[in-house]
A and B are shown apart, each in its own frame.
Chain A
């Protein structure tokens, strides 16, 4: 071979990541006393760089009572309690029968489909009783304040009534939604069953197999929009753009679906952060925190051994998401 004329560039070592503090592994903890019988993922605002909400995630594998385990409580903030199945082929299947007691009237409401229970600030609620479990279910919840606070209240026997039935909502995307206000095109992938199928319908190959998305108007005007989805594919999540921002804070939460291992994600993700798309890679359950106006994405699934779950928690009733040309 001829002598090489090719110059070897001066190569620098990788500088420290500027936004590493915004990508956090999820923490498993016992949680507030008397709320849940087993350790779960608990993330408070202080664990998420001051994010103005907190969330918890875990599985329910057998009949149980929780939130709280005994009695009832009130929070000084709005809260959503979400119950989803783990059948990643059918997001509309719960696989459990659950009841919750709501209001000073102690109304008992039952459901056996994927459901969000809306708990407006100050509403007495609980306990949640999981009466039967065909297949382990996912239960996650968020409170719209950075810190968990609760006051126990008197809990008489449950009653029948409909005053609070509007607080029990099926976990499906609203059919009448003309657009998702995100600019990302999710409204084009909504099926007549209220399920979004962004991977199959071209938003991006790594995007959700099945997703549901609820906005403020679907959740009694709460200042939040959130999703739940099953994901199993590799590649970019959004072909239309690179980075985007939101005018409000957002948490992107990546969770596994193994009821026996809360630390298992089953996939590896690559997330761009900031205008330089600083690359963050993780393969354990993690949260990505996006402060107001912070550019984030693209999101690329590098590999997936098992389907996993993902939810967005964005602190606005709408989901404005302008693409940033960076």
Chain B
């Protein structure tokens, strides 16, 4: 039998699209502690910002004091970290919204929608039964905010439509992805992709919100708990989207934001160039960029995952590569 000459490739072509999440101070006065803070410049010019942290005790944030306005749409997401029940928040939170400083309180996993120019904040976390996850999405590459003077909160419901439960629309007929996620929504708005056979590495529990659930914002995003090994999507290898997307892999240890608890590989490009990571990481997909498969190599602890796609829909044609 002949011995083969083997050579090593010089570099990975798409390494720049895989980034470890940056833990740093956010904009002054916005959050009291360092958090994952990624702007467009940190993500190859991605046209949005993303941040992620844990809230372990009562506190005020976004901003720490007063009220702010952004010149772009924003989503503030508050999710639990009870991997057995994605519908459990474990905290009581309020936020003031609008010129009226309407105070809205919630105790379930929630996304607060902040249309461009809407005065908002602060967020007050008044009770914490167990640490929660907070992440945010801003639909512009760079953080910008104007500070408004502090003002007393009022009661009212004019902005109540901006407080949305973090569950999938049960009535959604199609996810437009071609991947079949709409087949697996339970009566409470939770998707169960592993149980439904989508792939053994896919989510145990997942929620997915689209533009029409988000007051028409140009975004669709997910939150999910993952603990299985193997491929995420048995239905195909590589797909693309007509809009930009990031895939954000995060840990669930409130005491170590740099811990992921799993090792994954993501295929990038038609070449399915393999990228492997076991720290919190973002995979950046420009418009039309082929990506997947995601394959989970091992899992020590359940982890979280967020898709952030800059379109109200989630067109995801499979590419035969």
Interface residues of chain A, those whose CB is within 8 Å of chain B, are 1-2, 4-9, 11-15, 19, 45, 49-52, 204-206, 233-236, 239, 249, 268, 270, 272, 274-277, 279, 291-295, 298, 300-304, 326
Residues of B within 8 A of A268 (CB): 231, 234
Q: Beyond A14-B271, A302-B230, A326-B8, is A234–B200 a contact (Cβ under 8 Å)?
A: yes
> How far, in angstroms, from A236 to B297 measured CA to CA in the complex?
5
- Separation of A56 and B215 alpha carbons in the complex (Å): 63
Give chain A nearest CB distance to B183 CB in angstroms. Answer: 17
Asked if A239 and B298 make an inter-chain contact with CB atoms under 8 angstroms apart, the answer reads yes
The answer to whether B200 touches A6, judged by C-beta atoms less than 8 angstroms apart, is no
Report the Cα distance A205→B297, complex, angstroms. 8
B141 near A11: Cβ-Cβ < 8 Å: no
Chain A positions within 8 Å of B296 at CB level? 234-235
Task: Name the contact of A52 in the complex, choosing from B1, B228, B270, B272 (C-beta under 8 A).
Answer: B1
Query: Min CB distance, B67 to chain A, in Å?
Result: 24
Complex alpha-carbon distance, A5 and B6, angstroms: 40
Q: Could you jot down 6 A-B contacts, CB within 8 Å?
A: A1-B139, A2-B47, A6-B244, A7-B45, A235-B297, A279-B267
Chain B minimum-CB-distance residue to A272: B274
Q: How far is the CB of A7 from chain B (nearest CB, A)?
A: 7
Q: Which residues of B contact A15 (CB under 8 A)?
A: 271
Q: A291-B3, A294-B3 are in contact. Are A205 and B271 (CB under 8 A)?
A: no
Smallest distance from the beta carbon of B221 to chain A beta carbons, Å?
14
Which chain B positions have C-beta within 8 A of A239? 263, 297-298
> 10 other contacts beyond A5-B45, A5-B141, A11-B269, with CB at 8 A cut-off?
A1-B218, A13-B270, A14-B321, A205-B229, A205-B298, A206-B230, A234-B228, A274-B6, A298-B297, A302-B231
Contact pick for A234, options B1, B229, B310, CB 8 Å: B229
Chain B residues in 8 Å Cβ range of A291 = 1-4
Stretch at the interface among B30-38, B77-85, B88-96, B281-289: B281-289
Q: Roughly how many angstroms separate A274 CA and B8 CA in the complex, as a whole number?
A: 8
Q: Is the CB–CB distance between B1 and A279 below 8 Å? A: no
A-B contact count (CB 8 A): 143
**Please, which residues of chain A bring their CB within 8 A of the CB of B161?**
none
Q: Is the CB of B229 within 8 A of A233?
A: yes
For the complex of A and B, list the 8 residue pairs with the smallest distance between their C-beta atoms, beginning with the closest. Answer: A235-B229, A234-B230, A236-B297, A302-B231, A6-B45, A50-B1, A275-B8, A234-B229
Separation in Å of the A214 CB from the closest CB of chain B? 22
Pick from B4, B269, B293: contact of A12, CB under 8 Å: B269
Interface residue total, chain B, C-beta cutoff 8 A = 51
Q: Which residues of A contact B297 (CB under 8 A)?
A: 204-205, 235-236, 239, 298, 300
Of the residues A9, A19, A234, A298, contact of B201 by C-beta under 8 Å:
A234
B1 touches A249 (CB 8 A): yes
B44 is an interface residue with CB less than 8 A from chain A:
yes
Complex: A293 Cα to B2 Cα, angstroms: 11
Within 8 Å CB of A304, what residues of B? 200, 230
Q: How far is the CA of A4 from the CA of B4 in the complex (A)?
A: 46
| B229 close to A206 (CB less than 8 A) | yes
Q: How far is the CA of A198 from the CA of B229 in the complex (A)?
A: 15
CB <8 Å contact, B231 and A303: yes
When distances are taken between beta carbons in the complex, the residues of chain B under 8 Å from A233 are 229
Most buried by A among B8, B230, B286: B230
Q: Which A residues lie within 8 Å of B299 (CB)?
A: 205, 235
Q: Are B289 and A9 in contact (CB under 8 A)?
A: yes
**A295 to B13 CA separation, bound complex (whole angstroms):** 22
Contact status of A14 and B4, CB under 8 A, knowing A1-B310, A303-B200: no
Docked pose: A279 CA to B287 CA in angstroms: 25
User: Once the chains bind, are A50 and B218 in contact (CB under 8 Å)?
Assistant: no
Per-residue 0/1 for B272-304: is the Cβ within 8 Å of any A Cβ (1 yes, 0 no)?
Answer: 101000000000001111100101111100000
In the complex with contacts A2-B140, A15-B271, A276-B9 CB distance below 8 A: yes
Q: Evaluate contact between A9 and B47: CB separation under 8 angstroms.
A: no
Residues of chain B in range 229-288 having any CB-CB distance to chain A below 8 Å = 229-231, 234, 244, 263, 265, 267, 269-272, 274, 286-288
